[in-house]
Amino acid sequence: MVNLNQQWRVSFIENCTILFITFLIWTACSSAVDIQAQNIFVTVHLRGVYESEISLLPLSGSNAFKPIAKAQGILSGKMALLSVSKDDLPGEFVLRFDFKEKLGSTTYPSEMNILINNQDLELWVNPMHISNKDSTRFQQGEKENSTFALFSIENSKKKEKLGLLQQFLMNYDDTQSQFYRLGIEEYEKRRLAYNQWIDSCVIVDKTLFVSSLYRFQYVPQIPWVGTEKNRTTSAVNHYFDGIDFNDPIITKTSQLNEWMNNYVNIHGKLATSLATRDSLISSAALKAVEKAKSGHPIVYGWMVDYFYRGFETNNIPEGMKVLKPYLDDPNCLTSKRMEIDRRLQGMESLVPGSKAPNIEMLDSENQLFNLFAFNPINPYILILFWSADCSHCIETIDAIYPWYNQLYNKPKITVIAVSLDESETEIKAWNQKITTLSGWKHLRAERGVNSKIANDYYVLATPVMILLNANTKEIISLPRNLNELMTSFR
């Protein structure tokens, strides 16, 4: 009996061990299957060059223009396997090659755009001739890119015919003639037929990501009888014709951003001054957000985010006020609710006549700087928030610095330049740039836009300028450019 029990115990332990190991193997395999289920794979066969680094960069989303997958040292005849997370899909991507034609030769870049949805891709590429269709091909049965290629060919043919008629109507001298009226009728007939073709393509390819790209080709109505202003007004009024705001997938496209940039630029061209520009673009934002509001919450939120970024970059406080009513709408899936609210708080707090928040930090010479204890002989202090990798900041500084150095201005103003640079590359550029800006006091906030000073001054993007009374530290103005700064002195 004892021997039997011992044997049973041994068998039981062995069986449990086997079951446990089996469970671990099953769990590991299940995890591998789950990971694979979450990703799409792009297999790239390299040919025609000695070797290449291969990168994949999204054209939209939070990772836009940043490599999300990379393979190094891929030799000719070999392949690279790139994994794409479902979080980045569907989408448009740049497939980049940094290749060497021969061993020891200089590295050259080449790029191609690809579409990725829910299908693993396999393609053969010669980076030296990447735009040649005979040197680049996808696997048989590939859907998104092949379908879009066929659409693009047909679309180009149809658009060319419309373009010829449009050019004729734009340039014909006798707009009252019967011949011109016949031209308008023919154009309208072809425009309507073209838009119907777009609609049919969307229906046929509705299961594919590319169908969300088609509607950006839609041609709105143009009034051919009237002034150029009439045409511009009509372009604005009909700009959203044909776009499906109920389709959240359009937010995954780069075309939506480009399409909205064009919409804003139309309004910008109508502006005769900075003030009218801000007013027109704020009005444009209101129309666009109201239009998106009736669509999908994701598109609605995307539109609010889009205008927030534009208003922040171009320092348009009037536009920020336009966005305020949408922050309390639960259907507005904006990712910028906190930033917009913070900016609005700053607009209410940092106003002419209010006292500026204190600044206490080390300067570029490792000396403690305290704004409230700082008493220059100059009557004005200009606080300039900037970043060395911000092109708009550099343009602003390159305009202000020569003006500052003029004999008439230098005794009037002290400039405190606060850098929000964080990365090693940015800090290196900052160190180089400040050597050309002698006479200014230079500070750098180590946590950038997340630093205390940036929070105190509600700085979310650069450049930002605040002009102070040097004696009282009260805010005089918040100039957006050199012209507004000079006006503050008059």
Q: Is residue 13 part of a domain?
A: no
Number of helices and strands (H, E) in the chain?
A: 14, 15
Provide the whole-model pTM. Answer: 0.77
Identify whether residues 173 and 300 lie together within a single domain.
Answer: yes
Q: Is residue 69 part of a domain?
A: yes
Whether the ω angle into residue 90 lies within 30 degrees of 0, i.e. cis, is: yes
What is the rounded CA–CA span in Å between residue 81 and residue 305? Answer: 34
- Please check whether residue 446 is in contact with residue 362, taking contact to mean a CB–CB distance below 8 angstroms: no
Return left, alpha or beta for 411; rule: phi > 0 is left, psi -120 to 50 is alpha, else beta: alpha
- What CATH number has the domain bearing residue 126? 2.60.40.180
In b/e form, how buried is each residue of 160-191, taking b as 16+ CB within 10 angstroms? eeeeebbeebeeeeeeeeeebeebbeebeebb
Element (H, E) at 160: helix 144-171
Identify whether residues 245 and 372 lie together within a single domain.
Answer: no
- What CATH number has the domain bearing residue 382? 3.40.30.10
Give the pLDDT confidence score for residue 227 in this predicted structure: 79
Q: Is residue 222 part of a domain?
A: yes
The radius of gyration of the chain from alpha carbons, rounded to an integer in Å, stands at 30
Instruction: Provide the 3-class DSSP secondary structure of residue 472.
Output: coil
Q: Is residue 29 part of a domain?
A: no
Give the pLDDT confidence score for residue 21 in this predicted structure: 42
Q: Is residue 16 part of a domain?
A: no
Q: Is residue 17 part of a domain?
A: no
Identify whether residues 282 and 337 lie together within a single domain.
Answer: yes
Which one, of 307, 316, 293, 304, lies nearest residue 246 by Cα? 293
- Please check whether residue 242 is in contact with residue 220, taking contact to mean a CB–CB distance below 8 angstroms: yes
Q: Is residue 269 part of a domain?
A: yes
Give the pLDDT confidence score for residue 286 in this predicted structure: 96
Cβ burial of 413 (10 Å; 0-12, 13-18, 19+) is buried
Cβ-Cβ contacts under 8 Å for 10 (sequence gap 6 or more): none
DSSP state of 174: -
Residue that has been written with the tokens 């390299």 in this structure: 46
Residue 332 belongs to domain spanning: 155-349
Give the pLDDT confidence score for residue 18 in this predicted structure: 41
Q: Where are the beta strands (DSSP E) in 32-68?
A: 39-46, 51-58
Identify whether residues 224 and 100 lie together within a single domain.
Answer: no
What is the rounded CA–CA span in Å between residue 170 and residue 225? Answer: 10
Identify whether residues 281 and 218 lie together within a single domain.
Answer: yes
Identify whether residues 181 and 282 lie together within a single domain.
Answer: yes
Identify whether residues 165 and 292 lie together within a single domain.
Answer: yes
Identify whether residues 86 and 181 lie together within a single domain.
Answer: no
Q: Total domain count for the chain?
A: 3
Q: Is residue 31 part of a domain?
A: no
Identify whether residues 62 and 97 lie together within a single domain.
Answer: yes
**Maximum distance among all alpha carbons in the chain?**
116
Cβ burial of 387 (10 Å; 0-12, 13-18, 19+) is buried
Identify whether residues 342 and 243 lie together within a single domain.
Answer: yes
Identify whether residues 385 and 404 lie together within a single domain.
Answer: yes
The residues facing 467 across adjacent strands are 382, 477
Whether the ω angle into residue 379 lies within 30 degrees of 0, i.e. cis, is: no
Residues of the chain with pLDDT under 50: 1-37
What is the rounded CA–CA span in Å between residue 305 and residue 53? Answer: 34
Identify whether residues 311 and 256 lie together within a single domain.
Answer: yes
What is the rounded CA–CA span in Å between residue 163 and residue 155? Answer: 12
The residues facing 415 across adjacent strands are 382
In b/e form, how buried is each residue of 290-325, taking b as 16+ CB within 10 angstroms? ebbbebbbbbbbbbbbbbbebbbebbbbebbebbee
Overall residue count recorded for the chain in this entry:
490
- In this structure, the number of other CB atoms found within 10 A of the CB of residue 241 comes to 12
pLDDT per residue over 170-223, tens digit each?
888 898 899 999 999 999 999 999 999 999 999 999 999 999 999 999 999 888
